[in-house]
A and B are shown apart, each in its own frame.
Chain A
Amino acid sequence: EIVLTQSPGTLSLSPGERATLSCRASQSVTSYYLAWYQQKPGQAPRLLIYGAASRATGIPDRFSGSASGTDFTLTISRLEPEDFAVYYCQQYGSSPWTFGQGTKVEIK
């Protein structure tokens, strides 16, 4: 199965700063079939990005995704207070679908 490794484990930033989250796959992900989710405490995950770079419905354009080989990146251009949360990547190109272990974005 494809193992997704997210880094860093925790990102401490201030509102207004840029956040760059990494997700590295242990092997190539078919057709860049990778999604990003945001999860806040006590809530279900929320889909942000699919197909590595396509924003889901209603997601602000400060969220963007990119890919290069087996490396995937979620960028939040300017952090808003509501963006502090845990972020997960997920690949759906090769069964079984797998998730990364998560990156927590916390207020510095």
Chain B
Amino acid sequence: EVQLLESGGGLAQPGGSLRLSCAASGFIFNNYAMTWVRQAPGKGLEWVSSISTTGGGTYYADSVKGRFTISRDNSKDTLYLQMNSLRAEDTALYYCAKDYRYYASWGQGALVTVSS
């Protein structure tokens, strides 16, 4: 059974940083691209970033480009999202999802709140 477990969410000040992790199990992690999708409170879904199987290809939404960095450690079956220069509008539940195009498996999400 595929399991994705996010961690690292919390409260950050505007301009601050947080690092999310997503521990994967139940599938061969290094065979799949991975993705972060976020959902602001009471709002819809927004694709944030994706990474190729090796980490050699990374892709970002314009809203986070230059501030967020996606990475992965295939030896630890873990996906990361380094979030810098956080803004109030980054407040959201951040989901880790398996694959690059459409997402059959999702974690339960990590809540990030950006507020002073």
Contact = CB atoms under 8 A, between A and B. Distances in A.
Interface of A: 33, 35, 37, 44-47, 50, 56-57, 88, 90, 92, 95-102
Interface in B88-106: 95, 100-104, 106
A92 B104 contact: no
B102 A47 contact: yes
The secondary structure that dominates the B interface is loop
Given A33-B101, A95-B59, A44 B47 contact: no
Contact of A99 (B45, B59, B100): B45
The secondary structure that dominates the A interface is loop
Interface residues of B, number: 17
B108 interface: yes
Interface string B22-58: 0000000000000000000000111100000000000
Nearest to B102: A35
Nearest to B61: A96
A57 B104 contact: yes
A37 B47 CA distance: 14
Given A44-B109, A95-B59, A96-B61, A90 B104 contact: no
